[in-house]
């Protein structure tokens, strides 16, 4: 396996509209579009499932992935 994406959500009625994602790609495969493809598929899946908000955790010094998330329209909410 060279990469993976995860989504952690909740099935409770008042909480099923959002969840948290995680993405990981082996370093030797960085820059090959794998994380972009994984995130693209996850965002499409989330829309199909009626997910309205996707949260994520990222280290503030991980500029590479922050740039990817911003490309998909994610906004910084807190540090």
So where are the chain's domains?
3-72
Long-range contact set of residues 27-36: C-beta below 8 Å, sequence gap at least 24: 29/2, 29/3, 30/64, 34/2, 34/3, 35/3, 35/65, 35/68, 36/68, 36/71
Architecture label for domain 3-72? 3-Layer(aba) Sandwich (3.40)
Could you give phi then psi for residue 76, rounded to 5 degrees?
Answer: -70, 125
Q: Looking at residue 79, what is its pLDDT? A: 64
pLDDT digits (tens), the chain, 79 positions: 999 999 998 877 777 788 999 999 999 999 999 999 999 999 999 999 999 999 998 988 999 999 999 999 999 887 6
């Amino acid at each position: 396996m060279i990469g993976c994406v995860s989504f952690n959500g909740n099935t409770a009625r008042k909480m099923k509209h959002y969840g948290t994602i995680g993405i990981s790609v082996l370093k030797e495969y960085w820059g090959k579009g794998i994380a972009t493809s994984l995130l693209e598929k996850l965002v499409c899946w989330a829309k199909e499932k009626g997910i309205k908000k996707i949260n994520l955790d990222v280290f503030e010094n991980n500029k590479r992935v922050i740039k990817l998330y911003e490309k998909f329209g994610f906004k910084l909410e807190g540090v």
